[in-house]
Structure 1
Amino acid sequence: MIVLLPPSETKAAGGTGDRLTTASLGFPGLAVARSRALAALDRLVAAGQDVSTPAKARAAADNAAVRTSPTMPAIERYTGVLYDALDAASLDPDARAWVDGHVVIQSALLGFVRAGDLIPAYKVSSGTRLPGERMRDLWVDAGDEIPGFALDLRSKAYAALAPVAGAVPVEIVSPEGKALNHWNKAGKGALVRALAEARVEVASADALLAWASSAGVPLEGTDEGLRLTVRDPRLVAAR
């Protein structure tokens, strides 16, 4: 099983790993697309970036140093609601190993990366205009790299950017059955943490549902995929 996650706009600074080496990243079939994306980012940097606020200045500096700055595991680089709820740093070694082996994050700059892949800080999103490239053209075939059963927790924008054939999407709803927006990220993070702690190994949505039933995780099948019920505002998996 592969668990597909979206990236986050916010990213941790710094790192202790060596500079980016794309050859060391997972999914080597994306090498050409990564080279094109990085070359386009070089052109964006050369053309000049918006530095009108401290946040934008930091983002511009991150992009300018993307090839030389220190790296850290992708699962630690991305921050925000989803990644805070997952809290990979607090997992025991076995659960963290599960995350490294099963979680894949979709980067707008590097394509699909594994949780343990060492990446730098950068500021490129699905909506970024990279000179000389169309984001969709870069990653439209990236989904071919994802084998077997994939649990899709990506946002619609990222799922459209790199479609994965047969990926099973997960809808996040309140106990009243209402769709959640901002808070669905916490539900996704909580679900991944539960999967990691249980070190779940399944090869189909039906098998995942069987595990969820035995574990008391409120996951159910729908015509479109799966649905997870979370409490609001507590934002933890309802049990």
Structure 2
Amino acid sequence: MLIVLPPSETKRDGGDGDPLDFTALSHPRLTAKRRALARRVSRLARTPEEMMARLKLGQKLAFEVERNRTLTTAPTMAAMDRYTGVLYEAFDAPTLSPDARAFAESHLRIHSALFGLLGAGDPIPAYRLSSNARLDEPSLKASWAGAVSKEFAAHRGELVLDLRSESYVALGPIPPGTPSYFLRVVTTGEDGVQRALNHFNKKGKGALVRAIVENGDDFADIDALFEWGRASGHRLSLAPNGELVLEV
């Protein structure tokens, strides 16, 4: 089973790991693309005004330019600890038990606009690059879509839970034939109508991922996931379009 998460725009500072080592990251077939994109981003950061315009950053976020300039010299920490934001606050990786962290490292992937697919334990620096960043050619989609899809193809027989946003799905679609399920989080109003959530969508996803990781079962298929959901109080179902629905 793989659980695929989006990254977050916000990230923790610092870290106690050595500077970025591309060979220490999961999915080594992406190494060349990672190196090339990191060079492009760090080079662009030498012109702060240009980088801020490309990433649509205001003055309060000017510090992000320095993060990008020092990509290869800054300290690192595990990806699941680096990312913050609503989803990652609910997941709360730093408080996981050693067994749960080990499960996350094996089964959790984070789709980064800078690094492609990351393992949860991969050591990365703080950086700023979103899925809609306006870089020179090749675009992020051209850089990543085919390569990331090939990485997913290597897991064709596994259950994949896709918790990414649509913009990150475009940077690496999961190939047809893979038992993958795009997750939406909904709530049911007093009128009985289900409605998708925004802010609480991310919180619901983070809480679900934490529960799965703490449970520690490698679900073979969607039925096994549903069985666990019924036993643990997580209301999971399939929508008519084939998407996985979590009701909170």
Instruction: With the length of structure 2 as denominator, give the TM-score of the two structures.
Output: 0.88
Contact 1:109 1:124 (8 Å CA) reproduced:
yes
- The residue correspondences of 1:108-119 to structure 2 (distance < 5 A) are 108-119=113-124
2-structure distance, mates of 1:45, 1:131: 13
- The residue correspondences of 1:27-176 to structure 2 (distance < 5 A) are 27-48=27-48, 49-50=51-52, 53-55=59-61, 57-141=62-146, 142-146=148-152, 147=155, 148-165=158-175, 166=178, 167-176=180-189
1-structure distance, mates of 2:99, 2:68: 34
Percent of aligned pairs sharing the same letter: 42
2-structure distance, mates of 1:52, 1:153: 28
Q: Relative to 1, partners in 2 of residues 1:52 and 1:222: Cα closer, same or farther, differing over 3 Å? A: closer
Question: Deviation digits for residues 189-230 of structure 1, max 9, x if unmatched?
Answer: 000011011112112222211221222211112232210011
5+ residue gaps, structure 1, are 231-239
Instruction: With the length of structure 1 as denominator, give the TM-score of the two structures.
Output: 0.91
| Alignment correspondent of 1:226 | 244
1:14 and 2:14 are equivalent in the alignment: yes
1:188 and 2:194 are equivalent in the alignment: no
Q: Relative to 1, partners in 2 of residues 1:37 and 1:209: Cα closer, same or farther, differing over 3 Å? A: same
TM-aligned CA deviation for residue 130 of structure 1: 2.3
Deviates more, 1:110-119 or 1:212-221: 212-221
Contact 1:44 1:131 (8 Å CA) reproduced:
no
5+ residue gaps, structure 2, are none
Please give the secondary structure, in 2, of the residue aligned with 1:227.
strand
Contact 1:71 1:118 (8 Å CA) reproduced:
yes
| Alignment correspondent of 1:212 | 229
| Aligned-pair Cα RMSD in Å | 1.4
1-structure distance, mates of 2:59, 2:68: 15
Aligned-partner residue type, residue 104 of structure 1: R
Aligned-partner residue type, residue 59 of structure 2: T
1-structure distance, mates of 2:42, 2:195: 43
TM-aligned CA deviation for residue 101 of structure 1: 1.3
Figure out how many residues of one structure are paired with residues of the other and give that number: 229
Please give the secondary structure, in 2, of the residue aligned with 1:173.
strand
TM-aligned CA deviation for residue 175 of structure 1: 3.1
1-structure distance, mates of 2:207, 2:126: 24
Please give the secondary structure, in 1, of the residue aligned with 2:127.
coil
TM-aligned CA deviation for residue 52 of structure 1: 5.7
2-structure distance, mates of 1:156, 1:200: 27
Question: Deviation digits for residues 100-136 of structure 1, max 9, x if unmatched?
Answer: 1111000000000010000000010101122332010
1-structure distance, mates of 2:207, 2:41: 33
